[in-house]
Structure 1
Amino acid sequence: MTSPSLLPRHDGQVLVVGGPTTVLDLGGLRIVSDPTFDAPGPHGYLTKTEGPALAEDRLADADLVLVSHDNHPDNLDDRGRAFALAAPLLLTTTSGAGRLGAPAKGLAAWDTHTLARPDGGELTVTAVPAVHGPEDGERDADGEVNCQVVGFVLTGDGLPTVYVSGDNASLRTVTEIARRTGPVDATVLHAGAARVPGKFRGRPLSLDGARVAAAAAILGAPVNIPAHYTGWAHFTEGRDAIEHAFDEAGLAPVLRIADHGTWLPLKP
């Protein structure tokens, strides 16, 4: 049987595959965040309800994989893990790198890693903090809510600055990122208002629609692309809620949302 062809590159654009999984073609590099490629079905206490818009074979040319955290299967499922470990480089949390092994490199919040670009420039990846639950949630010995999670800010000369949130529910954290990184051109914001019975009194572990719109306002980005709002049973808000929240906030012009598998430009 013939293998499917590689997905053609669209430099300066983003494609949401499904769940949190996002393809960013930036500066001649192909970056895949939080790969999840399993078919629908149970994953322990979580249930996947939708498969990806495209199979991992079509992204086999990825130059870099970003994993906000490896602890939960809705951010790194079985096929996603195999995909990530086959990549030339995987950037993730410090604890996750220890669990995953090569080619994973662990980054704490505000650590950076720089990659050479095919055009002779560089892409700098900065890990940024994330809080995977309510601000007042019980914290572990390392000060983390739920588990260690990072987001990522991607920068480079001549490139749009892109913030990929990871599973973050904290607007205070978004404000800190905006203060420290300066202007952001585009965001990929994990939404969905994920809730798990028994955790934090059922309060959301990720941004709900209103907070996604608020995060976009705080960051001031002209392009905001939601991800991680469908495909798993524990998501409690979908596309309609996000669109409504941006409209209510008067921010509909900066929202970019489309069917999974659709390329979206990183610039207005």
Structure 2
Amino acid sequence: MTLRAVGGPTAVLELGGLRLLTDPTFDQAGSYTSPSGSVLTKTAGPAFGPEELGPVDAVLLSHDQHADNLDRSGRAFLPTVPVVFSTPDAAARLGGGTRALAPWAHAELARPDGAPALRITGVPARHGPVGCEPVCGEVTGFVLTAPDLPTVYVSGDNASLAAVRQVADRFGPVDVAVIFAGGARTKAMDGALLTLDSVRTAEAARILGARRCLPLHCDSWEHFTEGRDDLRAAFAAAGLADRLTLLPPGRSAAL
């Protein structure tokens, strides 16, 4: 398995001969108004764009309603991909090749070498405090499994450790946890966490029993309140520094 960070929540994950892309955000710096009325400001463009990406077998889209997870260029990119996995709400809005994965529902992707298929399971996520759904909308995480591959958790935009515990109960320990961190906050939810902060990201890695943790969603946007230095400190304090892999945009790791 390899993972290459693009910027924000976007990364290329290569696993079992397949190439998967998380939440496509390829725009340059700029501002967007979210459905709640909050203005989201992107401070830096991606390390590379779709023209340098190469073929992608599937997109793992945590949700479609916020530009820091699906921006204009990301939307334009989706029709070029065979299948997009996302929430039922996103599938209804996006149509086309978007497939709904409700919590615990799954789909399978055939692998090019004929090995056992990669199973993609939708898992619970909550994009803010309890009761946030009318404002923040529906979101999902994913777990990737196959008999001969590492188990990979992709959190999506999730602020709930209770959701992480549900995933751990069904799939733990996981080999790799790709956690959207950054402590995202906006005025729409009175500054409540919309994604895990650094301390909670380390706790999520502990709950999951993750052998490796690769945080995303901690750069390139103003409403991300914490970055890589905060993650480094939190994992060190939790005694989990050896499990943490931090990837600036453009960098990759082989696992």
Scaled to the shorter chain, the TM-score interval is over 0.9
Give 1:262's match in structure 2, choosing from 229, 247, 251.
251
Give 1:124's match in structure 2, choosing from 119, 135, 149.
119
Aligned partners of 1:124 and 1:73: how far apart in 2?
Answer: 27
Aligned partners of 1:119 and 1:139: how far apart in 2?
Answer: 41
Aligned partners of 1:132 and 1:139: how far apart in 2?
Answer: 7
The letter of the residue matching 1:110 is: W
The answer to whether the 8 Å contact 1:85/1:104 transfers is no
The answer to whether the 8 Å contact 1:112/1:126 transfers is yes
The answer to whether the 8 Å contact 1:194/1:235 transfers is yes
Question: SS in structure 2 opposite 1:132?
Answer: coil
Q: Which runs of 5+ in 2 are unaligned?
A: 34-38
Deviation string, structure 1 residues 112-171 (Cα, Å, up to 9, x no partner): 00010011121000000101002x33444xxxx721100000011211110000000011
Deviation string, structure 1 residues 181-219 (Cα, Å, up to 9, x no partner): 2321001100010010131x2111000000000000000
Task: Determine what percentage of the aligned residue pairs are the same residue.
Answer: 51
Shift of 1:258: 2.6
Give 2:152's match in structure 1, choosing from 137, 162, 169.
162
Of the structure 1 ranges 122-131 and 256-265, higher mean CA displacement relative to structure 2 is found in: 256-265
The letter of the residue matching 2:177 is: T
**1:213 corresponds to 2:202:** yes
Aligned partners of 2:221 and 2:92: how far apart in 1?
Answer: 27
The letter of the residue matching 1:253 is: D
Aligned partners of 1:138 and 1:80: how far apart in 2?
Answer: 25
Count of residues in correspondence between the two structures = 249
Shift of 1:81: 1.0
Q: Which runs of 5+ in 1 are unaligned?
A: 1-11
The answer to whether the 8 Å contact 2:7/2:248 transfers is no
**Given the two structures, how large is their TM-score scaled by the length of structure 1?**
0.90
**Given the two structures, how large is their TM-score scaled by the length of structure 2?**
0.95
Aligned partners of 1:99 and 1:28: how far apart in 2?
Answer: 30
